[in-house]
Amino acid sequence: MTVKVSEQKERILVVDDDSVARKVVQRNLTSKDYHVIAAPSVAAAIQILDTTPVDLVITDLKMPKVGGIDLIRHIRANFEDTAVIMITGYASIETAVAAVKEGAEDYLPKPFTDEELFAAVQKALDQLHIRRSTRADVTEEPGALFDLIGESEAMRRVRRAISKAAGTTATVLITGESGTGKELVARAIHYTSPRAAAPFVPVNCAGIPDGLVESELFGHVKGAFTGALMTRAGFFITANGGTIFLDEIAELTLATQAKLLRVFEDNQVQMVGASRPREVDVRVIAATNKDLASLVRKESFRDDLFFRLNVLTIDIPPLRERDDDVLHLLRYFTSKCAQEADRPALQFSDRVLDVLRSYRWPGNVRELQNLIQRLVVLNEGSSIDVSDLPSLMRFSVQSGKEVARTLAEAEADHIRTVLASVSGNKTQAAQILDISRKTLRDKLQRYSLGPQAE
């Protein structure tokens, strides 16, 4: 059977230390086709909320250590898009008022009937949908305009952070693994800010040869060095009035970092060969897939520059931590790629959806997009089954002798598999492996993997 990716059910989290009561509520709501998750404590509930999008929380009032009122406060402070219902066997006007005051949509005293439970749940979800609809009518989340697709709480936090950053002129540091969409976030900030009409200039710091970094960033005048046949504005001057996006900023040398710091301090750039500096008005957004604080401790990144960059930080979660966002992205990329290639929309079997949900996605969203492009172009039909997926995504029974391999053999095999998954593209393979192209080339030579396609 093949199915199109469908919308997920409304998620309800039931929190109660009484296992019998918890299971009864879970069973009743599941019978109404809700997706129900259960937690025996507030601590367990918070862990679930941090990793899974939840529409409604139904929580008991009295629980050991931390009670329901504190959970409501936590939800209201951190998850504005989640509704709450309080249930308790200790019914009183005071507890009802306290629950509603802290942000609960409703209050159910025990014992309650199934009909009372269903009515309260429907009412709370209806109110939640109205709030969401009202917000959508007033203003669309900026991330949705820039392919930042996903309904997980982690991505909702990213979109809220984009909205806040767009309203300021502060420097932004975007962190996250390769392929998570750091440049998309930077573009969303710029194009929803007052600087939207001015240039957005992306710079791949790792892609600039060491000897040309200063010239590329700050510009040079004619005759400044051999080959400087004309005056050329650097990236900072080009971005004047707008935003410069310094991707992979951790790759800059300490000497370049010191010169970059002067731009932050003086709002001036010194073109190579120029006699005087030049004023610039540029907002800086930087990005890295490395731990800058750790690099500071190792003295490979300047602490003063780190503090200048780390004003507003947006951390983009890896795809494996975004719950069912993979299905939202799958639906989006399938429609987009099919339209661009003038091909019919793909349909995925249930087994394929299970594989994609459980796959670790080392290359994150970029890897998923590449996969969909490959399936749209290479697949003759519109139905996708597990056999159509790359070999590294399929189940394989490993023989016992496979364990007796050296670390080098395992690394070589993994590099070979990743290269095969991207049709030999070394740039994409390096991004998935989270190494530089130079490191990848060295490993290809070391393991005698042969010439690879660009």
Decide if 7 is inside a domain: yes
Q: Is residue 453 part of a domain?
A: no
Among 274, 292, 315, give the residue marking a domain's end.
315
Q: For the chain, how many helices (H) and strands (E)?
A: 18, 17
CATH at 441 = 1.10.8.60
Q: In CATH, what number is assigned to the domain containing residue 150? A: 3.40.50.300
- Is residue 84 classed as helix, strand or coil in its secondary structure? strand
Domain encompassing residue 440: 321-446
Q: Do residues 120 and 194 both lie within one domain?
A: no
Instruction: Give the pLDDT score at 95.
Output: 63
122 and 174, same structural domain? no
Number of domain units in the chain: 3
Q: Are 253 and 208 in the same domain?
A: yes
Is residue 452 in a domain?
no
pLDDT at 454: 41
CB 326 within 8 A of CB 319: yes
Let me know whether 227 and 241 are in one domain: yes
Tokens of 219: 């510009």
Q: Are residues 223 and 153 in the same domain?
A: yes
Q: What would the DSSP string read from start to end of 60-75?
A: ES--SSS-HHHHHHHH
Statement to judge: residues 194 and 272 lie in one domain: yes
241 and 275 inside one domain: yes
Statement to judge: residues 309 and 195 lie in one domain = yes
Q: Which of 285, 315, 345 is the last residue of a domain?
A: 315
Same domain? 271 vs 347: no
CA distance 298 to 345: 50
For residues 300 and 410, membership in a common domain is answered with no
**Domain shared by 16 and 117, yes or no:** yes
pLDDT at 398: 44
- Could you tell me if 151 and 289 lie in one domain? yes
Last residue of a domain, one of 93, 122, 137: 137
How far is 187 from 184, CA to CA, in rounded Å?
Answer: 5
**For each of the chain's 454 residues, which pLDDT tens digit applies?**
333 343 457 899 999 988 898 999 999 999 988 999 999 999 899 988 887 889 999 998 888 888 888 898 888 888 878 899 988 776 555 666 667 767 777 788 878 899 989 998 988 888 787 666 555 443 444 445 567 888 888 898 999 999 999 999 999 999 999 999 999 999 999 999 999 989 999 999 988 887 888 888 998 888 777 777 788 888 999 999 999 999 999 999 999 999 999 898 888 998 888 888 889 999 999 999 999 999 999 999 999 999 999 999 999 999 999 878 898 899 889 988 888 888 888 888 888 888 898 888 989 999 999 999 999 988 888 889 888 888 878 764 444 445 556 777 778 878 887 887 777 788 878 878 878 888 888 888 888 776 544 4
Q: What is the pLDDT of residue 92?
A: 56
Amino acid of residue 16 = D
